[in-house]
Chain A
Amino acid sequence: GDSVTQTEGPVTVSESESLIINCTYSATSIAYPNLFWYVRYPGEGLQLLLKVITAGQKGSSRGFEATYNKETTSFHLQKASVQESDSAVYYCALASNTNTGKLTFGDGTVLTVKP
């Protein structure tokens, strides 16, 4: 079946430092699945951060970027300069079934940004 592997947390960085959370995927039913990053901020529900549905393209939101790399089957999340408000749990996910929006999630990465 489909699977997603991401950086095992927790990850702690200082404010204004750069960040990368690794994500690699395996999709058995489709060559190019749709890829997503979801985020859960403290006290809030899971919400979409960004998505990319075309291999080779980059998605961006709130200063975060992720590039869909079909050669390395990766979708790493990056930010050049993190803020304390970025502290959250980040989930990489894929959707491979064209008939449903069923998401397969990674285990999540807890990010803490120190002031």
Chain B
Amino acid sequence: NAGVIQTPRHKVTGKGQEATLWCEPISGHSAVFWYRQTIVQGLEFLTYFRNQAPIDDSGMPKERFSAQMPNQSHSTLKIQSTQPQDSAVYLCASSLWGDNYAEQFFGPGTRLTVL
């Protein structure tokens, strides 16, 4: 089992460009989570899918950020018109059921740098 896979590991974009981050959850896991980690804000929840359906996006910025899960084997986080304040490590996690006591398995993260 390869664990949660995130690509790319590092991405550098210019201000105003688009960034797409990919996540492949552990096979058989029904829940996928996205988090963002910065020095200032720490680790914060962005959005959550269960069985590919969006369940909770309460942590997503209202503009420029979107997430999808087109099939059970991958999810994407897209940031349009990236800004320097979007620079962060974006973490994807998956869990078997997605309830509030299931262990979440985290990927290595994608470090996004917006110049």
Listed in ascending order, the chain A residues whose CB lies under 8 Å from chain B are 33-34, 38, 45-48, 51, 53, 91, 95-108
Complex Cα–Cα for A8 and B58 (A): 27
A-B residue pairs, 6 tightest by C-beta: A95-B100, A105-B43, A46-B106, A48-B103, A53-B101, A107-B42
Q: How many residues of B contact A (CB 8 A)?
A: 31
Stretch from B64-72, B79-87, B91-99 at the A interface: B91-99
**Cross-chain contact B33 with A102 (CB below 8 angstroms):** yes
**Cross-chain contact B101 with A99 (CB below 8 angstroms):** no
Complex Cα–Cα for A33 and B100 (A): 9
**Cross-chain contact A101 with B104 (CB below 8 angstroms):** yes
**Nearest chain B CB to A56's CB is how many angstroms away?**
16
Residues facing A in B42-94 (CB within 8 A) are: 42-45, 48, 50, 55-56, 58-59, 91, 93
**Cross-chain contact B48 with A51 (CB below 8 angstroms):** no
Listed in ascending order, the chain B residues whose CB lies under 8 Å from chain A are 3-4, 31, 33, 35, 42-45, 48, 50, 55-56, 58-59, 91, 93, 95, 97-109
List A contacts of B101 (CB < 8 A).
34, 51, 53, 95, 101
A-B contact pairs, 14 of them (CB 8 A): A46-B91, A47-B105, A96-B100, A99-B55, A99-B56, A99-B100, A100-B56, A101-B33, A101-B48, A101-B100, A102-B58, A103-B35, A103-B45, A107-B42
List B contacts of A48 (CB < 8 A).
103-104
List B contacts of A101 (CB < 8 A).
31, 33, 48, 95, 97-102, 104
**Nearest chain B CB to A59's CB is how many angstroms away?**
12
**Nearest chain B CB to A54's CB is how many angstroms away?**
10
Complex Cα–Cα for A95 and B108 (A): 21
Complex Cα–Cα for A77 and B41 (A): 23
List B contacts of A53 (CB < 8 A).
101
